Chains A and B, each alone.
Chain A
Amino acid sequence: MSEEIVTVEQLRHVYRKGKVAVDGITFGIARGEIFGLLGPNGAGKTTTVRVLTTILRPTSGRASVAGHDVAREPLAVRRNIVAVLQENAVETLLSTLDNLSLYAYLHGYSRFETRKRVDRVVQALELGEHLYSRAQTLSGGYKRRLQVAKALMIDAPVIFLDEATTGMDPLIKRRVIELIREEADRGRTVLLTTQLLDEAEALCDRMVLMNDGKVLAAGTMAQLRERARKAFRLYVRFQHDTAESAALIQSLAARNVKSVRGEYEITVEGSEDQWIREMARISERHPLEHLEIRAADLEEIFFELYGHTAAGAHAD
């Protein structure tokens, strides 16, 4: 692995009222990597981001960003980061343009440089329509877009994105994902938390799955799949779909069965061999037109690791 730009070692954060939000987590992020923090509500992802961005101090353990300890050198850390936090942190009384300009001034850019950077992000994120509208009149999705635009104006080597695409329309979301990927290609490091598993799967080079303040699993998508290799999906289509074949599918010891336009999507556990044999047996009485086996995606991995439905396992 190349040089680590974010290092977290046995990090723990306990809130004033005694709640242990982060409980001894350890991970590292390499320069230029897109790293995901995933987990259900209260997993500790946002607290981790807040410690790494120097808003909260670690109770114990240590964390460093760009070689600077978050507790001992918070200012040096802040000079190397830019953060989109979970809240819609915009200056509600100012226009979109003023929000962007002010953010650049507060990050030390000159008026000339600010204008250049504002023009670039306004174009990239299609913010022109409400450039002169007060932020309090903007939709949640637009405010989120403005947040991301602010972060993309700044050249800090590490970008923190806490559920940055929440509320965005799909086209803009795709554009944001492309932009994040471009930033990583330029060597910037991105740490993102998301409740959208497809987004994490599309973007993250590596990720950590958290629960109750602890790291449940960490690694690349392939490594996580390996951890959850028992879970996979079968896509089955019969030559003649009948009530009997449907009942047969429903009787399988599957975790979940969905039927869409004559095709069954069956989430199962066990070995592939076992299920190929099972499908061959079914095919003797009800010939199959199509059989496909797909490895677990992030949703299955969540299911496997958290032991409950993926719908309930979505993030903070």
Chain B
Amino acid sequence: MGYVLPIAFRDFRIRLSNPVLPLWDVLVPVVYLLVFGSSLERWIGTAEAGINYQRFFLAGVLSMVSFGIVFNSSYAFFEDLQGGIFHEMLTYPFARWEMLLGKLLFNAVFSIVGVAVCVAAAFSLLRIAVPPSAWLPVALWSVLGTAGWYFLFTWLALNLRGFNAYHTTTSALYLVLMFISNLFYPTEQLPVSVRWLAWANPVTWQTDFLRHYIYPAVDLPHLRSETVAFFVFVVITFWLANRKLNGTIE
């Protein structure tokens, strides 16, 4: 475990060498919340129907934070691969799982910062308060979410070695994961043909847990099984990424 901090420090130094990129990762979800959430609520008048869309959407935005940070930072794999530093790191005196956890640590801390900024923006600009009792579960779940997505994208990046193939695959995946989920709307509002896909989508499981703490009024009948499923998802993606890193990376 002794190498996890230096590995996280390395990623911290690299990512912050261009502060615009991390700032972008944090600001995009806030902009979604403020512009998209507010506009949609005004247009469809959910407040009059007794639904606070912005509060509903906040859980989705918090999922988006960890998902987005990981999505963007996964491109750093290709810079490392092309620059040769990735293969050099494979010769360093630490286990591959330490490498994974070190890189995750940076992204996890960063996602907590992103979540805190979103929660602060929701409170100060939209008067949506996340109760203090929810802070810890929300933070922990954001870390777990970041872990699951980070391991998945690492595994994908290492399998799809070509940048174009990776970009195409993850862009398609981004659309499916974000829009065929409960991130923007309840899954019941999706066309029947894709509803099953939304139920099987880990973004849905991650968001439902957060929504349970942020907007308890929403009925979440599958919360317990979704929570277990998300844990399983994180374990499986960790196993896949670690196995790939321990195998041959040509």
**Chain B residues near A55 (CB-CB < 8 A):** 87, 90-91, 248-249
B91 close to A93 (CB less than 8 A): no
Whether B87 pairs with A85 at a CB distance below 8 angstroms is yes
Given A16-B250, A91-B14, A93-B17, also A81-B7 (CB < 8 A): no
Measured CA separation A83–B249 after assembly (Å)? 17
**Within A99-113, which residues are at the interface with B (CB < 8 Å)?**
102, 105-108
A57 touches B248 (CB 8 A): yes
Please determine whether B91 and A57 come into contact, CB atoms closer than 8 angstroms. Answer: no
Give every chain B residue within 8 A of A89 (Cβ-Cβ): 83-85, 87-88
Task: Report if B50 contacts A (CB, 8 A).
Answer: no
Question: Cβ of B9 < 8 Å from any Cβ of A?
Answer: yes
A107–B2 Cα distance when bound, in Å, is 10
In the complex, whether A15 has a CB less than 8 A from a CB of chain B is: yes
Check if B93 sits within 8 Å of A108, measured CB to CB.
yes
Closest CB of chain B to A126's CB: distance in Å?
23
Interface residue A53 (Cβ < 8 Å from any Cβ of B): yes
Q: In the complex, which residue of chain A has the Cβ closest to the Cβ of B81?
A: A87
- Is B7 touching A106 in the complex (CB atoms < 8 A)? yes
Which residue in A78, A85, A93, A105 is a CB contact (below 8 Å) of B14? A93
Contact of B91 among A16, A85, A87, A92 (CB under 8 A): A85
Judge whether A108 and B2 touch: CB under 8 Å: yes
Residues of A within 8 A of B199 (CB): none
Query: Shortest beta-carbon distance, A82 to chain B, in Å?
Result: 8
> In the complex, what residues of A have CB within 8 A of residue B75's CB?
none
On whether A88 and B84 interact (CB within 8 A), knowing A94-B17, A106-B7, A107-B92, the answer reads yes
Q: What residues make up the interface of A, taking CB atoms closer than 8 Å to B? A: 15-16, 50, 53-57, 74-75, 78-79, 81-83, 85-94, 98, 102, 105-108, 156, 160
Q: Nearest Cβ in chain A — how far from B91, in angstroms? A: 4
Question: B88 touching A102 by the CB < 8 A rule?
Answer: no
B85 closest partner in A (C-beta): A89
By secondary structure, the B interface counts as loop
Chain B residues with Cβ under 8 A from A78's Cβ? 91-94
Which of A15, A75, A90 meets B85, CB within 8 Å? A90
Main secondary structure of the interface of A (DSSP, over half): loop
Other CB < 8 Å A-B pairs besides A55-B91, A75-B95, A90-B85, 18 of them?
A53-B91, A55-B87, A55-B90, A56-B248, A56-B249, A56-B250, A57-B248, A74-B246, A79-B93, A83-B88, A88-B83, A88-B84, A93-B14, A98-B13, A106-B3, A108-B2, A108-B3, A160-B91
Query: Interface size class for chain B?
Result: 20 to 34
For A50, the chain B residues whose CB sits under 8 A away are: 87
Q: Given that A91-B85, A93-B14 are known contacts, is A54 also in contact with B91, CB under 8 Å in the complex?
A: yes
A54 and B99 CA atoms in complex are apart in Å by: 15
**How near does chain B come to A48, taking the closest CB pair, in angstroms?**
14
A32: min CB distance to chain B, Å: 21
Chain A hits for B95, CB < 8 A: 75
- Give the distance to chain B from A297, nearest Cβ to Cβ, in Å: 32
B222 contacts A by Cβ under 8 Å? no
Give residues of chain B (60-105) contacting chain A, Cβ–Cβ below 8 Å. 83-85, 87-95
Interface residues in B120-174 (C-beta closer than 8 Å to A): none
Is B221 engaged at the interface, CB distance under 8 Å to the other chain? no
Residues of chain B lying within 8 A (CB to CB) of residue A15: 250
Determine whether the beta carbon of A81 is less than 8 Å from that of B91.
Answer: yes
B243 close to chain A: CB less than 8 A: no
Residues of B within 8 A of A88 (CB): 83-84
CA A83 to CA B248, docked complex, whole Å: 17
Most buried by B among A83, A89, A98: A89
A-facing mask of B1-26, CB < 8 A → 1, else 0? Answer: 01100110110011001100000000
Residue contact B83 to A87, C-beta cutoff 8 Å = yes
